[in-house]
Every structure is written in structure tokens, then in C-alpha cells.
Structure 1
Amino acid sequence: MRWERKWTFLAASLGVIAAFFVLREHWAHALGLAPYLLLLACPLMHLFHGHGGHHHDRHQGHTTKDDLS
């Protein structure tokens, strides 16, 4: 593993551990923010990901000469 990846892995691991202990002590406060975070997640999802799953087929709903028989 390259040196940069080791530092990234170490920083991510320490972040997860720190988040665990902070949430363990302040669970009631974090749970109180959950509805607001859910409401904030919706516009952020649309801002960064758009409508993702709406792929329209060009030929959908159109008939061809073969379909008219």
C-alpha cells in the first residue's frame, strides 16, 4: 500500500472512532437533528446527483409502420 493511502486510511479510521465516541455521548442531540438533516439531504441530493433514474427512451410510446397492422 502506498504511503498516501496509509495516511488516508489512518485518518478515516480515527474519524470513525471519534464520531462513534461523540455520538455515544451526545446521541439525544444528534437524534434531535435527524429530521432537519433528512430535509437538508433532499435538496443536496438533487444538487449533486440530479434526478439520476429518469432515463426516457426516445421510442417509448411511438408507433412504427410495423405496429400499425
Structure 2
Amino acid sequence: MTNHQHSVENAPSSFWRSKTGVLLIMLVAISAFYVVREHFSHVSPYLPYLILLICPLMHFFGHGHGGHGRDGDQAEANKDEDGK
């Protein structure tokens, strides 16, 4: 008889949680900070447009890829199947 349950110890760890992944994230964050700091005068005129661009992206990704209206459709489909 085989046991198909996976224990936490046997699960492969994520690259981003390893020491190398954390180091890579830190280096990217630090370098991004210095690049933005040095080139802020070039980017600052476009900040209002970037903020407006973030709004639809947050709406799209924040609601499960645009599926925030499906619950009502499912309830109506169940009502139609019941014949009410």
C-alpha cells in the first residue's frame, strides 16, 4: 500500500524562498532604488500617467482576472435549472 500524501519536509522549496532567491530580490530592490533615485527627474513628468495606468491593472488583477460578476450569473443559471 502506497501513501500518496506529501509531507512538508519532502516538498521542494521555492527558489524565491532560498538564500539565493532572497539575495537576488534584495539586490534587485537596491539597484531599482538607486536607478529611480538617479533618474527621478526624467520620470517625474510621467507619474500622473503611470498612476492612471496602474488603476485598470489593479482592477483587472485584483478581482481575479475580471471574474467579479460570475457569482450572480451562476445563481441565475441555478434558478433556471430548477424551473422557478
Q: How does 1:39-58 map to 2 (within 5 A)?
A: 39-50=52-63
For residues 57 and 26 of structure 2, the distance between their equivalents in structure 1, rounded to whole angstroms, comes to 26
Q: How does 1:1-69 map to 2 (within 5 A)?
A: 4=15, 5-50=18-63
Provide the aligned C-alpha RMSD in A.
2.2
Runs of at least 5 residues in structure 1 that lack an aligned partner in the other structure: 52-69
Could you list the runs of 4 or more consecutive aligned residues of structure 1 that deviate by over 2 angstroms after TM superposition? none
Runs of at least 5 residues in structure 2 that lack an aligned partner in the other structure: 1-12, 67-84
TM-score, normalised to structure 2, is 0.50
Deviates more, 1:42-51 or 1:13-22: 42-51
For residues 21 and 48 of structure 1, the distance between their equivalents in structure 2, rounded to whole angstroms, comes to 28
- More relative contact order, 1 or 2 (CA 8 Å, 6+ apart): 1
For residues 8 and 37 of structure 1, the distance between their equivalents in structure 2, rounded to whole angstroms, comes to 28
How many residues align structurally?
50
* Percent sequence identity over aligned pairs: 45
